[in-house]
Amino acid sequence: MTPTPPILEVRDLAVSFATDDGVVQAVDGVSFDLRAGEVLAVVGESGCGKSVTAMTLLGLTRSSNARFSGTAQYGDTELIGASEEQLRKIRGAEIAMVFQDAMAALNPVQRVGKQIAEQILAHEDTSDADARDRCIELLERVGIPRARERVDNYPHEFSGGMRQRVMIALALSCDPRILIADEPTTALDVTIQAQILERFRELREQTNAALVLVTHDLGVVADIADRVVVMYAGRIVEQGTLDEIFYDPRHPYTWGLLGSIARMDRPRPKRLPTIAGLPPSLANRPTGCHLRPRCPHEFAECVKIPPLEARGESIPTHPSTAEHTDRCWLSTEQKVALREFAPGEIGLGTKAAAS
Amino acid sequence: MGRFILRRLVAMIAVLFAISVVTFSIFNVIPNGDPALRLAGRNQSPDQISAIRRTWGFDKPLYVQYAKTMEKVFTGDLISYANQVDVDREIIQDVPRTFSLAIGAALMWMAFAVAIGLYTAVKAGQFSDRFLTVLALIGISMPVFWIGALMNYYLGFKWKIFPNGGYVPLTENPIDWAYHMILPWTALSLLFIGVYSRVLRSNVLDTINDDYVRTARAKGLSERQVLIRHVLRNSLIPIVTLWGLDFAAVIGGGAILTEKVFDLQGVGQYAADSVGQLDIPPVLAIVMFGAFFVVLLNTVVDIVYAALDPRIRLS
Amino acid sequence: MATEPATELTFGDPGVLAAEDARDRVAGLGPWRLALRRLKRNKVALAFGALFVLIVLLCLAAPLYADHVAHTDPFKNHLTDQINVGGKLTDVVAPDGIPIGPTWHGRFFLGADGNGRDIAVRLLYGGRTSLLIGAGAAIGTILLSILLGTIAGYFRGWPDTIVSRSLDILWAFPPLLLGLALGTALALGGLKIGPISIAGDSKLIPILIISVVQVPYMARPLRGQVLALREKEFVEAARSQGASSLQIMFSEILPNLVSTIVVFFPLMVVNAIGLEAALSFLGAGVRPPNPSWGTILGEGISRIVTAPHQTIVPGLMLVLTVLSLNVFGDGVRDAFDPRAKVRVDR
């Protein structure tokens, strides 16, 4: 695949909040590229910083107790340092966001048509009637039946899945180049989830928009992502293509995530492996590699923060690209050997088991 | 929406009936002696008392008494024994004054409360916020008749900046009417400005962190648009209910005190004067009409609230 | 009026304070200790609370003051007396009816009223009455509200319908008007229920009236809470262990209402004091010549043109009392729930 120039370049993004419990480093040196038409999945446990990263791109985390460093270059605009005025033009029009809880994210006392039209009218010089027609069209496009009537409904008059589609319609209304979806399917059941993902796929085909998909659901990732970024405690711990992450994972945390999926195509293991321990408090993180307290393969080197690098020599089954990076000091042979929890099963194991 | 309105109207009528029964009971059923004596008030001649007994039916069963009482009130046959005046006519004359006071004050306090509430919410935690909050607290702690009396004395009587009480009908001279009403409006508003600005501040602070406000920002709206179209509008909805309730409460409460202090001769003052003279018929009528008005206004507020917040219509 | 929001008037560094909080939470301090700790940090609330206590103590010490400092009592008219003011012998009440202003000395410290009575003495005695009625009415309201709210919320069905509709009707009457109505009705004959007979000028009458008038404002929130508590697992557990309804109400439901009651109490007292002042001012509350802040203000306002001090001074005392209780009450509310939302209970 010939690499097209990225439409979004994030370099060393760091976000911290001064809270009652101390300074919380929510995002710590995150870098990635996003290309047109690409689906980038940002994966990790709750609290790993993926939502904060996503919202920071649109400046939605700005507040008096937040501190930012690093850059996010979108075309001519550097998003992190941009003024509110500059961001306003980009929000909704060029980069749009789909939030997790559609019921909370929509104004409960406004009709959905009006809410979508509000975004259109904020960016384009059309008439109210035109905006309304476009709303109806958008609702039809995301698969809401009887859109002409339902455009005047209130959010609580839709089911969960339909509400989420309304949010997607809202996000698409100005044909953004980048769509950021923050856990868009988490609140929905599996069948609706499949339909929503289908919408995203269609969107990509029709408009070549890029999608940043923030989720903790690896099933969703496997379904739709092109590339994956794995985050843990504010840092990216592994980054690569979908195949690389799923078939050639190079970081113990990724092993843990993959190992903890219940799979239908394998014999059932005696116990579903989990990652022992708890994620660290972001106000008080361990020195060096953040996974140290929970990683059974920890060794002396781990007290130094491993830089995010492409370390891999290729292994016969999986050619490694320069973009498959990870943050683990272990050598490639060690990784290949250690990552199989049981023959054919990728997983992390526990410290107790390892010793 | 139509069904909702119908339901509320039916409920309202039931409550109005219950109110009339309760009011009746307060004056004629409370066990403390001869109701005829009570009605006669200070004019306790034996002739008067037997006349009262006859027309009010105290020698008849309770439901007859109730019927007679209601008949008197609604047919304008209610006479105040202390002053020999037609109570209903007196009330009708006084109503415009009370309404001038209540409506003017309600608008004034709403305007100031929204401004101060929004301002302190936006500046939450800073000095201006704390300072205004303290002022609001002081405003809440002052009895309206005290501050009213002081205002009237200093600003009206002593320094002659405003008229010294009294009322000029709106139809006679609008400017003079307003001029006479400014002090009463202010005195009555102070308390409510204090309460409402803090309620609004609290609502705004809650709303400002709601998810849909974040969505509004993500749409590319300016901060001002977000504040007014989403935050303020949604914060105001519960305030509308409060406002309706308190407006009714003002008519039946704070207005009485303000009218008396500024000598506005409104319905409230009529009630207060009657109380002072232990003249019961006016008090009975005013209490009942006051409660009626509250219920009526409540119903209107309910309907308006349902119009503003569509989720309510389902309940 | 409906519920009010909380103010946070603390002076501590939020980082340090919340770190303390976090530590306490982890250490497992119960909600009462946590609330107490938060209240202790709220220096402003504590200061005003102390002010309120000071005022109460002053009023309780009224007899001492009357006897030893002012050498009079609240009812004695000194119309024809003369006292020594700055060396000059002045009439307590001048021939044209104007009483003397504050002397800032033991006798007539705050001046005299139109009847020649010592304002300071009357103020303190009046304070006793007003505070007594305020607290008494608040307690009365709370007791009635607990009773009604628990019955309605726990048993639901018919009892709930009756109680709720009754509360709705009671709520429809503007409080002051209702108080006036009851006050007028009970003024002449007092109250006679069976063997219990209360005189028309007893202090119990205003207490009773104000208690009843305020019930809807407390009973409804309590009913709502009981409704919610009823569904909790610990109630079910108690039921499955064979506890009777009465036992459940006392051991499971009631304790959980206490924090709401504690938060509401200062507010109820403030409202009661205000209502008493208004009622007495209009003549439907405390009956003359008994002093209460309301009656004193009433007398003062009627003479405001000739003797404004008779209005200003008692008013300031009332404002200070109410303000201090308001700020303290806010602090209590904050301590129990620093993020209290304003709810409109309908």
d(CA C224, CA C255): 15
d(CA B189, CA B254): 10
Taking the Cβ of residue B216 and every Cβ of chain A, the question of whether any pair is shorter than 8 Å is answered with yes
d(CA C82, CA C59): 27
Contact list, C15 vs chain A (CB under 8 Å): 18-20, 22
Cis, bond preceding C289 (omega within 30 deg of 0): yes
Taking the Cβ of residue B294 and every Cβ of chain C, the question of whether any pair is shorter than 8 Å is answered with yes
A73 beta partners: A9, A78
Pairwise CB contact (< 8 Å): C180 & B249: no
Over 50: is that where the pLDDT of C65 sits?
A: yes
Taking the Cβ of residue B130 and every Cβ of chain A, the question of whether any pair is shorter than 8 Å is answered with no
End-to-end CA distance of chain C: 12
pTM: 0.73
Sheet order of strands, A22-34 included: A22-34, A8-19, A66-74, A77-78
Mutate to test the interface with C, among B27, B137, B138 (most CBs of C within 10 A): B137
111-170 in C: which are within 8 Å (CB) of B?
Answer: 165, 168-170
Taking the Cβ of residue C172 and every Cβ of chain B, the question of whether any pair is shorter than 8 Å is answered with yes
Pairwise CB contact (< 8 Å): B211 & A93: no
Contact list, B230 vs chain A (CB under 8 Å): 107
pLDDT at residue A218, as a whole number: 87
Q: Delimit the domains of chain A by residue range.
A: 8-107+172-229, 241-278+288-354
Output the DSSP codes for B234-266.
HHHHHHHHHHHHHHHHHHHTHHHHHHHHHT---
d(CA C45, CA C9): 7
Q: What is the ipTM of this complex?
A: 0.82
User: Which residue on chain A is closest to B215 by alpha carbon?
Assistant: A105
Pairwise CB contact (< 8 Å): B256 & C180: yes
Banded pLDDT at C16 (limits 50, 70, 90):
low
Q: Closest CB to B130: pick one of C9, C169, C301.
A: C9
User: Which residue on chain C is closest to A21 by alpha carbon?
Assistant: C19
Taking the Cβ of residue B240 and every Cβ of chain A, the question of whether any pair is shorter than 8 Å is answered with no
User: Which residue on chain C is closest to A22 by alpha carbon?
Assistant: C15
CB C177 within 8 A of CB B256: yes
d(CA B220, CA A91): 5
How do residues B134-185 score in pLDDT, each as one tens digit? 888 898 899 989 999 998 888 888 888 887 777 778 777 888 888 888 888 9
Rounded to the nearest 5°, which phi and psi values hold at A31?
-135, 135
pLDDT at residue C52, as a whole number: 93
* Structure-token pair, residue C76: 């004695």
Contact list, C19 vs chain A (CB under 8 Å): 20-22
How do residues B87-122 score in pLDDT, each as one tens digit? 888 888 888 888 888 888 989 988 999 899 888 888
167-226 in A: which are within 8 Å (CB) of B?
Answer: 170
Of residues B182, B200, B178, B188, the one with CA closest to residue B109: B188
Taking the Cβ of residue B260 and every Cβ of chain A, the question of whether any pair is shorter than 8 Å is answered with no
How do residues A113-154 score in pLDDT, each as one tens digit? 999 999 999 898 899 999 999 999 989 888 889 989 999 998
d(CA C111, CA C137): 31
pLDDT at residue A179, as a whole number: 92
d(CA C185, CA C180): 8
Question: H or E element: which one contains A240?
Answer: strand A235-241
Pairwise CB contact (< 8 Å): A123 & B220: yes
d(CA C1, CA B244): 11
Taking the Cβ of residue B308 and every Cβ of chain A, the question of whether any pair is shorter than 8 Å is answered with yes
Mode of pairing for the β-strands spanning A95-98 and A178-182: parallel
Taking the Cβ of residue B126 and every Cβ of chain A, the question of whether any pair is shorter than 8 Å is answered with no
pLDDT, mean over chain B: 82
Banded pLDDT at C12 (limits 50, 70, 90):
very low
Taking the Cβ of residue C26 and every Cβ of chain A, the question of whether any pair is shorter than 8 Å is answered with no
Pairwise CB contact (< 8 Å): B153 & C9: no
Rounded to the nearest 5°, which phi and psi values hold at A2?
-70, 130
Taking the Cβ of residue B141 and every Cβ of chain C, the question of whether any pair is shorter than 8 Å is answered with yes
Over 50: is that where the pLDDT of C10 sits?
A: no
Of B21-25, C6-10, C268-272, the one with minimum mean pLDDT is C6-10
**Phi-psi region for residue A60, left (φ > 0), alpha (ψ -120 to 50) or beta?**
alpha
Contact list, C305 vs chain B (CB under 8 Å): 153, 157
Rounded to the nearest 5°, which phi and psi values hold at A213?
-110, 110
Over 70: is that where the pLDDT of C87 sits?
A: no
pLDDT at residue C346, as a whole number: 25
Mutate to test the interface with B, among C9, C282, C322 (most CBs of B within 10 A): C282
Show the beta-strand stretches assigned E in chain C.
82-85, 88-91, 191-193, 196-198
Pairwise CB contact (< 8 Å): C18 & A20: yes
User: Which residue on chain C is closest to B285 by alpha carbon?
Assistant: C181
End-to-end CA distance of chain A: 44
Give the number of A-C residue pairs with CB atoms closer than 8 Å: 15
Taking the Cβ of residue A56 and every Cβ of chain B, the question of whether any pair is shorter than 8 Å is answered with no
Q: Delimit the domains of chain B by residue range.
A: 2-75, 92-308
Contact list, B310 vs chain A (CB under 8 Å): 109, 154, 156
- Assign A136 to helix, strand or coil: helix
Touching A: which chains, 3+ CB pairs < 8 A? B, C
d(CA C124, CA C115): 17
What string of pLDDT tens digits covers the 355 residues of chain A?
Answer: 556 788 999 999 999 988 766 788 899 889 999 998 899 999 988 888 888 999 999 998 888 788 999 999 998 899 998 888 889 999 989 999 998 888 889 988 889 999 999 999 989 889 999 999 999 998 988 888 998 999 999 898 998 888 888 998 999 888 899 999 998 887 778 888 888 888 888 888 888 889 999 988 888 898 889 999 999 988 999 999 998 888 888 888 888 888 777 677 767 767 666 777 778 877 778 888 888 888 888 888 888 888 877 766 666 666 667 778 888 888 777 887 777 766 666 777 666 555 4
Pairwise CB contact (< 8 Å): C191 & B30: yes
Touching B: which chains, 3+ CB pairs < 8 A? A, C
* Structure-token pair, residue C215: 């019930």
How do residues C208-217 score in pLDDT, each as one tens digit? 889 998 998 8
- Find the radius of gyration of the CA atoms of chain B: 23
Mode of pairing for the β-strands spanning C191-193 and C196-198: antiparallel
Of residues C68, C228, C212, C187, the one with CA closest to residue C137: C212
Of A121-130, A220-229, B61-70, C55-64, the one with minimum mean pLDDT is B61-70
81-100 in B: which are within 8 Å (CB) of C?
Answer: none
CB C103 within 8 A of CB C71: no
CB A166 within 8 A of CB A102: yes
Contact list, C17 vs chain A (CB under 8 Å): 20
- Assign A49 to helix, strand or coil: coil
Pick the CATH number of B92-308 from 1.10.3480.10, 3.40.50.300, 3.30.70.940, 1.10.3720.10: 1.10.3720.10
d(CA C298, CA C281): 5
d(CA A35, CA A337): 33
Pick the CATH number of A8-107+172-229 from 3.40.640.10, 3.40.50.720, 3.40.50.300, 3.90.1510.10: 3.40.50.300
How do residues C89-115 score in pLDDT, each as one tens digit? 777 777 777 777 777 777 777 777 777
Contact list, A18 vs chain C (CB under 8 Å): 15
Q: Closest CB to A92: pick one of B210, B220, B225.
A: B220
